[in-house]
Structure 1
Amino acid sequence: MARGLVISDLHLFSMRSIGERHLHDLRETLLSADVIVLNGDTFDFRWSHHPDEETSIDAALEWLRNFVAAHPRADVHFVVGNHDCLAAFTARLDELVISLPRFHWHETILRLGGNIFVHGDCAHCPMDADGLDRYRSIWKHDRPRHSLLARVYVLSDRLGLTWLAHRSHFTRQKTLSRLAWYLDHALPNWRKDTHHCYFGHTHLPLRNIEWKGVRFHNTGSAIAGSPFAPAEFCITSTTPIETRAPGEVPDCGSHQ
């Protein structure tokens, strides 16, 4: 039975991110995974430290090539988030699919066995699939922000203001109900064969929180000062299993 690792919200290229440090700490777990899911906002084009959009896109594509090459055992699934749904970037992802057989990308939803993965920006406010398209239409043509504004953002993080805003906006009940409502409309009958739903975006970790028969998990973020909470999972379409943090490997074999 295949074992996977899901990570979200690395926000690479942003001066707020310590994603590369977290990936270094996870290197042994990543190397042993059969499947790696990068579940949205892997890159942050709005707050990129690169000088222009083209340079950021080239750097992101090169990063993905190197990441896939560095993990020869794993199929790598790239789920798009709002910070990396830039149209000029996603238009080039098919190039990687052709050149890298173990690379796959998904615009909104990924299903693997009894697991479903969404970035989680569908929980920003009540929305269905069309609503998510409208929400992302702004991000798809977003422009990089000035470095001075990025420094203000870093200061907000250090003062705890960003964390406070996330906790206020993304209450647990509101977040889970919006996620479920989005999936009910975007993918009818999704609950039938789904045991676990993994998401990011809120930067507020959750683990094994049951909501109407499905266990929800949020994998935190790699923003400095935020909890980073990647999760290991098993790909199975039968009995639900407990999701664990890296190092506490789920017992996939007992549920074959």
Structure 2
Amino acid sequence: MHGLFVSDLHLLSPRSACPHIETELADYAGAHKCIVLGGDIFDFRWSDRGGHDQTLEATSRWLQDLQLATENTDIIYLPGNHDCHPDFLEQLEKLSQQSKNFSWQPHHLQLGNNLFFHGDILDAGNSLEDLQRYRRQFHHVKPQSQWAHRSYDTAVGLRVHKLVPRILHQPMRTCQRLQNAIDRLNLDDAKAVRNVFFGHTHVPIEGLKLNGRSFYNPGAGMKHMQLQPHEFTFERAIPASEIPLASDTSTKPPSK
């Protein structure tokens, strides 16, 4: 079975720059394929939709449209720090109950020898509990001010948003830290992991080798940044019924 991993589109933010991504995902879709949406697909923190409810409505429409365009394809959603609001997670849960081809996990997913997660555990601490606390900082409801948006636009215009990640998240050091994080995820079969797919850092990585594993990061779909979704394979299709429900995990972020 073939799959595609993409993350950090930051849709609904004025800095997002991937207007054709829906078409690209639809073109990729097909039988015996899956798409893993690896977090920060939407940007609740910097949404320009005018309010929390409007942002939720926009995310719902986008996901429903994507399902219609990829009806024979399994879609798995892994939230990041910019799309982890409890209201949105409830929306994901409802969608997973309504559709046989849609599912979600709070933090990570293993398909065969492939491991997927957003990657914000890099900034959160040493455990999933630390990650939950970190993500609560991003549970924004009020829109950002126009002044804040203009300041961010200035930083983007100066390419500061591109420089800072490259300083803070240098590929080798980042992958070494992720190796340590993997040991704390209590995976069912950690020894089988050979390919690690993650986002968050906005720094593209193409198969960096470390201790028998290859690391991949698609970059980010933001202005002046590079976005390169990564393909992967695994041995067999996994029906949604075999993927543990997010509501069954002990690491689901707390409700409001």
TM-score with structure 1 setting the length: 0.86
* Aligned residues of 2:84 and 2:139 also touching (Cα < 8 A): yes
How far is 1:22 from its partner? Answer: 3.6
Q: Which amino acid aligns with 1:212?
A: N
CA RMSD in angstroms, aligned pairs only: 1.9
How far is 1:127 from its partner? Answer: 2.4
Q: For residues 36-74 of structure 1, what are the alpha-carbon distances to aligned partners after superposition, in whole Å with 9 as ceiling and x for unaligned?
A: 011000100011011110110111112111111110120
Q: Find the counterpart in structure 2 of residue 136 from structure 1.
A: 135
Say if 2:236 is the partner of 1:234: no
Q: Find the counterpart in structure 2 of residue 51 from structure 1.
A: 50
How far is 1:30 from its partner? Answer: 3.7
Q: Find the counterpart in structure 2 of residue 195 from structure 1.
A: 194
Q: For residues 159-184 of structure 1, what are the alpha-carbon distances to aligned partners after superposition, in whole Å with 9 as ceiling and x for unaligned?
A: 11111111111112321122122221
Structure 1 residue matching 2:182: 3-state secondary structure:
helix
The CA distance in 2 between the partners of 1:230 and 1:214, in whole Å, is 19
How far is 1:187 from its partner? Answer: 2.1
Q: Find the counterpart in structure 1 of residue 208 from structure 2.
A: 209
Q: For residues 199-246 of structure 1, what are the alpha-carbon distances to aligned partners after superposition, in whole Å with 9 as ceiling and x for unaligned?
A: 001111101111121111001110011010101110138xxxxxxxxx
The CA distance in 2 between the partners of 1:232 and 1:121, in whole Å, is 21
The CA distance in 2 between the partners of 1:143 and 1:181, in whole Å, is 36
Q: Find the counterpart in structure 2 of residue 63 from structure 1.
A: 62
The CA distance in 2 between the partners of 1:25 and 1:4, in whole Å, is 13
Alignment of 1:175-194 (within 5 A): 175-187=174-186, 190-194=189-193
The CA distance in 2 between the partners of 1:74 and 1:52, in whole Å, is 31
The CA distance in 2 between the partners of 1:142 and 1:174, in whole Å, is 34
**Are the structure 2 counterparts of residues 198 and 124 from structure 1 closer, same or farther at C-alpha, using a change threshold of 3 Å?**
same
Answer with 6-15 or 57-66: which moved more.
Answer: 57-66
**Are the structure 2 counterparts of residues 157 and 10 from structure 1 closer, same or farther at C-alpha, using a change threshold of 3 Å?**
same
* Aligned residues of 1:127 and 1:178 also touching (Cα < 8 A): no
Q: Which amino acid aligns with 2:14?
A: M
* Aligned residues of 2:44 and 2:140 also touching (Cα < 8 A): no
The CA distance in 2 between the partners of 1:230 and 1:39, in whole Å, is 10
Q: Find the counterpart in structure 2 of residue 241 from structure 1.
A: none
How far is 1:151 from its partner? Answer: 2.7
Q: Find the counterpart in structure 1 of residue 41 from structure 2.
A: 42
Alignment of 1:1-256 (within 5 A): 2-25=1-24, 27-31=26-30, 34-124=33-123, 126-141=125-140, 143-187=142-186, 190-236=189-235
How far is 1:186 from its partner? Answer: 1.9
* Aligned residues of 1:79 and 1:105 also touching (Cα < 8 A): yes
How far is 1:33 from its partner? Answer: 6.8
How far is 1:185 from its partner? Answer: 1.1
The alignment covers a number of residue pairs equal to 236
**Are the structure 2 counterparts of residues 27 and 130 from structure 1 closer, same or farther at C-alpha, using a change threshold of 3 Å?**
same
Structure 1 unaligned spans of 5+: 238-256
**Are the structure 2 counterparts of residues 166 and 130 from structure 1 closer, same or farther at C-alpha, using a change threshold of 3 Å?**
same
**Are the structure 2 counterparts of residues 25 and 189 from structure 1 closer, same or farther at C-alpha, using a change threshold of 3 Å?**
closer
* Aligned residues of 1:4 and 1:233 also touching (Cα < 8 A): yes
Q: Percent of counterpart pairs with the same letter?
A: 31
**Are the structure 2 counterparts of residues 25 and 105 from structure 1 closer, same or farther at C-alpha, using a change threshold of 3 Å?**
closer
